[in-house]
Structure 1
Amino acid sequence: MIVGLAVPGFGQEALSTSNKKALDFYNRAMENFAQRRTEETIQLLNKAIEQDTAFTEAHLKLGQVYEYARRPELALQTYQRAIRQQPGKPATGLAYQFVGTYLLKKGQYGQALTYLDKFGTFFTPQSSQGKRVERLRQTALFGQQAIQNPLPVKPRPLPAAVQAFPSQYFPVLTADEQTLVFTVLKPEGDEDLMVATQQAETWSAPSPLSERINTPRNEGTPSLSADGRTLVFTACNERNGLGSCDLYISRKTGTEWSAPQNLGPSVNTRFWDSQPALSADGRRLFFVSDRPGGVGRRDIWCSQLGNDGQWQTPFNLKNINTAFDEASPFIHANGQTLFFASDGHIGMGGYDLFIADSTATGWSNPQNLGYPINTADDQAALFVAANGTRAYYSHEESGDVQRSKLYVFDLPASIREKIRPVSYLKGVIADAGTKKPLGATIELIDLETNKVISRVQSDAETGQYTAVLPSGGEYALYVNVPGYLFKSLSFDFKQKREGEGLNLSVPLEPIRSAGRETLNNIFFESGRFGLAEKSRVELDRLAQFMEQNPTVKVEISGHTDDRGDAAANLELSRKRAQSVVSFLVKAGIGPERIRSAGYGETKPLVPNSSEENRQQNRRIEWRIL
């Protein structure tokens, strides 16, 4: 963070020259500057310096005028001459400030420290200005250390086919990295949202996201759910807006996006609300706002989607935000890792990118992502792939015309270690017989805590879905459609694993013609029939299904592999089935609606030729009677 300090203005002070001509040019320069005649002021100050090259105050004033005229290189040279003439004079403080902060902005940290160290001697350490100088020093020290320990980062631009505009920025992708949405600045000054898709590692040319979303006004900073079917974006100066910039939401069904809806007064205010970051399941929304009640000027806030489908009152991320500005939050698909930009946390100058993790007691202490991800330039935003291997961003090129391109780089190991990678599961939900696509509810539940980790809907027109699967635990996935048997799937990610995608289409059986379904999340200890505690998730779902379908009667059947005595296996399968029946009865399901059966090893799903196959054969099934 580079800040300006209070420095002397163009007031009168004792001057270091007795040369009358120099003083005359100097005084005339002050009169011209009071009337904002910049060029005349510069000419007169240069003439004063020609009369007396040791006229330090003339050098200082000329440096100030060059600052005012936005000629930083000339200001730098002029201030450095003033410092060389009178290095210890307090009046040169403004020169030390400019040179130190200028070199800091240029990433010349070692040189900046020389000037900042001297500048700091003009203030007491506990004064407000002394603290600001120390903050600049800490920035220079951090930048110097970061450059000495660079990360192995090699950015590469996305293919030219994607970069069809002079300026494209704020890239976001779906969990499978096959769909890319970003903001473009058109030559006429209009910001719109564009989309490109990838097939066989080839990116398409971008096309407008939707006529319902893009307007002659500005739309930008998009954020997508993992399946790419929920979009939150920023639009400014809209007729139905509540403030200067508001957040809007649109949902995709089939190939069509819905008309954007303002997120309403629970999220938007009469102040500036922008830069959304939607969680993978679309149920948490991070964004930036300058509304009152925050920690700093622009803070990161978070709103959660209630069970009633309404966004709740946002809360401030108080141990993330600083007294300065935060920007561009991005919540990783794992739902735990937050990336954001800040000019408040110590970095390399300007906005740096940081990472923090959600913990039981709040967010962890933000960590700087390091060099060369961060530099002395502002770093706007970062999107990290679900599997934690790649990061996407935009880089603004220097020049008179605004130009920026999209880039991708492989995350170095030191950062990947901080990110819990996730897998994604995608496919199509359809009727098992007719193949008709179904709009299903897909829920991922932690088997240890019985908590819903994510809840997504498949597309009602296409049946397509994408669900995020975290690593490091055991999870049950449930697919539900009214009038159909629910489908349960089991995923054991207790061992650390790299995130990778899984394709799984799920056929659902209508209740009226249903066959057998395996309950994939019923667990027993080896050779025993007592239900493991983590079976409760599945059993609760089965009980809920029977409550919702009060005329349905079911058979619960137990099955084993071929290891051990056949008669013992038969008895074990019967007892296991009966354990499930007993649970359902205790849950309030009438015993007349449930029948148990044990088949032992007589009905294997697959040959008992491997441990993996035997595991499939050890199961509990259910079917409609």
Structure 2
Amino acid sequence: LFIYRDGKNGDGDIYFSELKGKKWGEPQPMPKPINSRGQETSACFDYTGNVIYFVSDRDGGEGGRDIYKSVKQSDGTWGEAENLGPIINTEYDEDAVFMHPDGKTLYFSSNGHNNMGGFDVFKSVYENGKWSKPQNLGYPINTTDDDVSFVLTASGEYGYYTSGRIDVKSYGKRDIYKIAFLDIINRPKLTLLKGTVTDRETGEPIAATIEIYDNTNNELVSTYTANSATGKFMVSLPSGKDYGINVSAPGYLFYSENINIPLESAFQEVEKNIQLDKLKVGKKVQLSNIFYDYNSAKLRESSFNELDKVVELLNKNPKLKIEISSHTDSRGSNAYNLKLSQERAQSCVDYLVSKGIDKSRLIAKGYGETRPLITDEEINKLPTDEEKEAAHQKNRRTEFKILEN
């Protein structure tokens, strides 16, 4: 939660407070280079939490209050403030910045762009490395008075903002308004992943760490923490990427999932209630982001993040001994499937050994098609080829099981 606090000399700074369990923490000032000797009035994160957009009247801008951004560095500090430039900023004032969870649509208010009077709400889209010309959202959102602090829901259905408009009955100088977009032509292209993380045995919430990876380039996109009191989490995933999701907590086996969201996918909500297992003999985890070349045991680079999580788990729990198993679907001969699965399991073990794990703690086991999650009889009853192929894909998997702890 970002808060603006006035200073003694007419300046002011941005403060932030974090929700811990069910209570908000004491607001703390944002560090340099976000806050400065000038006035900073509003701020927001992008969907990753690694980029902050904020408003400042510091020296060196286009004039008045401008919108800046800063990128979080690998050591957790914020990088140099970058002015968004003359396409966004004018010689007058820009304020009340909001980056939509789609990761590319910026909303802000300005009294410098072509407006109806006072501050109007504008939007600009970042594509192909540049910002589009700001578009005035027009009436009935904008009026001849000040219209500011616009935010849009992830679905694009509702907007909220404050206005001093006089064309409707109001309760004070500035009221909060809600507007419904009845015909959404360009619905936001993103998936809102939300749910809870709990202990499988007790049902108690877990303040788990949720990491989102881009499987196309193996990069960590963002990190979230589930609420310690409720286990709830909510993650925004813009369309057009293949995501690897890893959920972990001390003393538990991690959970992984692969979510591939095509570029043309419009807004959708996906609920995922995740149950973590404690580190006990016999417990197993499906490694959902392990990928091999076609008909090969060669690991793709997009598998490395997932296997690194296994390395991390083994390093934190030096008494663990595990079996890495590989499974195929039923297409192909039994002998071929058994051989391929054994080679794939061994590839995973070899990777773990290359990262410093003692090979005595690892067993590679290929089961071929002998342990399907969905039987051929069940697959043949499915009505469409797409469903049948999805079932075969579920049978093609890599797992690990705890043998000793």
TM-score tier, shorter chain, comes to 0.7 to 0.9
Aligned to 1:540: 308
Secondary structure of 1:578's match? helix
Q: 1-side partners of 2:263 and 2:74: how far apart? A: 32
Residue by residue, what CA displacement relative to the aligned partner does 1:85-132 show, whole Å, maximum 9, x if unpaired?
xxxxxxxxxxxxxxxxxxxxxxxxxxxxxxxxxxxxxxxxxxxxxxxx
Which of residues 270, 274, 278 is equivalent to 2:41? Answer: 274
Aligned to 2:248: 480
Residue by residue, what CA displacement relative to the aligned partner does 1:365-424 show, whole Å, maximum 9, x if unpaired?
33314533445554323212223343332343318952524122217555x26x5x2212
Aligned to 1:573: 341
Which of residues 387, 397, 402 is equivalent to 1:619? Answer: 397
- Larger helix share, 1 or 2: 1
Which of residues 328, 351, 359 is equivalent to 1:583? Answer: 351
User: Partner letter of residue 233 of structure 1?
Assistant: I
Q: 2-side partners of 1:397 and 1:379: how far apart? A: 8
1:182-331 alignment, distance < 5 Å: 231-237=1-7, 244-319=11-86, 320-331=88-99
Q: 2-side partners of 1:466 and 1:499: how far apart? A: 14
Q: 2-side partners of 1:328 and 1:300: how far apart? A: 9
Secondary structure of 2:229's match? coil
Aligned to 1:384: 152
Aligned to 1:408: 179
User: Max radius of gyration: which structure?
Assistant: 1
1:458-537 alignment, distance < 5 Å: 458-513=226-281, 515-537=283-305
Aligned to 2:322: 554
Kept after mapping to 2: 8 A contact 1:426/1:467: yes
Q: 2-side partners of 1:549 and 1:296: how far apart? A: 56
Secondary structure of 1:624's match? strand
Kept after mapping to 1: 8 A contact 2:124/2:135: no
How many residues of Structure 1 are paired with residues of Structure 2 in the alignment? 388
- 1:341 is displaced (CA, Å) by 1.9
- 1:597 is displaced (CA, Å) by 0.4
Q: 2-side partners of 1:346 and 1:525: how far apart? A: 54
Note closer, same or farther for the CA distance 1:413–1:598 as it changes in structure 2 (3 Å cut): same
Q: Percent identity?
A: 36
Secondary structure of 1:478's match? strand
Note closer, same or farther for the CA distance 1:434–1:384 as it changes in structure 2 (3 Å cut): same
1:38-437 alignment, distance < 5 Å: 231-237=1-7, 244-319=11-86, 320-359=88-127, 361=129, 363-372=130-139, 373-374=141-142, 376-398=144-166, 402-410=173-181, 413=184, 416=186, 419=188, 421-437=189-205
- 1:332 is displaced (CA, Å) by 1.0
User: Partner letter of residue 81 of structure 2?
Assistant: P
Kept after mapping to 2: 8 A contact 1:302/1:316: yes
Q: 2-side partners of 1:397 and 1:376: how far apart? A: 7
Q: 2-side partners of 1:376 and 1:478: how far apart? A: 49
- Larger strand share, 1 or 2: 2
Secondary structure of 1:474's match? strand
The runs of 5 or more residues in structure 2 that have no matched partner are 380-387
Kept after mapping to 2: 8 A contact 1:523/1:532: yes
The runs of 5 or more residues in structure 1 that have no matched partner are 1-230
Identify the structure with bigger relative contact order (alpha carbons < 8 Å, sequence gap 6+).
2
Secondary structure of 1:524's match? coil
2:209 paired with 1:441: yes
